[in-house]
Structure 1
C-alpha cells in the first residue's frame, strides 16, 4: 500500500469510528457496531428478498399471463377503415374485419399502436365471446416483479433506517446525560468549590 492509500484508509476508519481513539466512548462504538450490523443484514436481505419476492411474483404473473393467453385466441384481421390518432394518445383507431372458424365474417373496433392503412392485415386477440381484447402483456410479469421487489426493498430500507435512527437517538440522549454529569463533576472539582 502506498502512503496516500494508507492515509485514506486511516482517515476513513477514523470517520466511521473504527479507529482506536481513546476519546471515543462506548456509546460511539455501539453506534458504529449497530450501523455495521444493520448494513450487513441489509446486504444479506437484499438478494434473498429479490429472489423470494421477485421470483415468486414473476412465477405467479407468468402463470397468470399464460392462463390468460390460453383463454384468448389470435386472429389475423383486415383493416377496413383507419382513423386519425389523437395528438395525446399513441393509438390509431381502426375498424377491422375477420373470419371465425365457421367462416362467418365479423367486424369490430381495434386500437392499433402502429400506423395502419385500409387493406393491411393486423393480428388481433379475441376472447371466448368473440370480442376484441387487449393482447396478453409480455412485460407484465417482469414489471410487477420489479415493482413489488423494489417496494419490499424500500420497506426494508425504511425499517433499517428507522432502527438506526432510534438507536442513535437513544445513544445521543445517553451521551447528553453523561456530558451533563461530567460537567457537574468538573464544576465541583474545578469550579467554585
Structure 2
C-alpha cells in the first residue's frame, strides 16, 4: 500500500470534509497524549515510589521491645490484615533513651514478651517493616501502571466523546444533503 493511500485524510480530496480533518487531528492528539503523557506519568510514579521505599529501607531498622500489657486475643475485624493487634511496647532508642508507643503485635502475647519493632531515623516507631527491594519494584510498577491508566483513560474518553460529536455533525450534514437531493428526484412514493 502506498504512503498516499495510508494518509488519505491528509491529501486534497473533494469528498473530504472539515470533520474528517478535525477527527484526524483528534485521533493523533489522543494517541500522542495517551502514549507520551501516560508513559511520563507512569515513569515519574515508579521512580517516586521506588525512592520512597529506598528511603524506608535506609532509615528503618529493627529494635527489640518489651510488651507492656497483654495483647488482646485475635478478634474478627482486627487491626490488620495479617491478624496482628494493637499493643503498647517499650524500647531503647539508638540514643539510649527509653521510649514507649503503640504498634501492631501478635495476638494473645503476654506482658513482658519480647517483640521486634521498627524504628525510623528519628527514633519513632515505624508502622511496619520497610518494603523489600523485590516487593518494592513490583508495587512501584503497579502504581506506575495505575498512574499511566489514570492519564490515558480520561484522554481516551475525551477523544471518544469528540469523535462521537464529529460523527453527529457528519450525519447531520448527510441529512441536510439528502433533503436537498431528494427534492430534485421528484415526489416520494410512500
Q: 1:93 to 1:132 in 2, by over 3 A?
A: same
Structure 2 unaligned runs (5+)? 1-14
TM-score of the superposition, structure 1-length normalised?
Answer: 0.58
Alignment RMSD (CA, Å): 4.2
**CA distance, structure 1, for counterparts of residue 31 and residue 171 of structure 2:** 26
1:134 paired with 2:127, answer: yes
Corresponding residue number in structure 2 for 1:174:
170
1:54 paired with 2:50, answer: no
Per the alignment, in what secondary structure is the counterpart of residue 190 of structure 1?
Answer: coil
Structure 1 unaligned runs (5+)? 1-24
Within 5 Å, which residues of 2 pair with 1:70-85?
70-84=58-72
**CA distance, structure 2, for counterparts of residue 65 and residue 120 of structure 1:** 30
Corresponding residue number in structure 2 for 1:45:
35
1:123 paired with 2:116, answer: yes
Q: Is the 8 A contact 2:86 2:104 kept in 1?
A: yes
Higher relative contact order (CA 8 A, sep 6+): 2
What is the total number of aligned residue pairs between the two structures? Answer: 162
Corresponding residue number in structure 1 for 2:155:
159
Q: Is the 8 A contact 2:68 2:88 kept in 1?
A: yes
Per the alignment, in what secondary structure is the counterpart of residue 88 of structure 2?
Answer: strand
1:139-171 CA distance string (max 9 Å, x none): 677546534532432432322232233233223
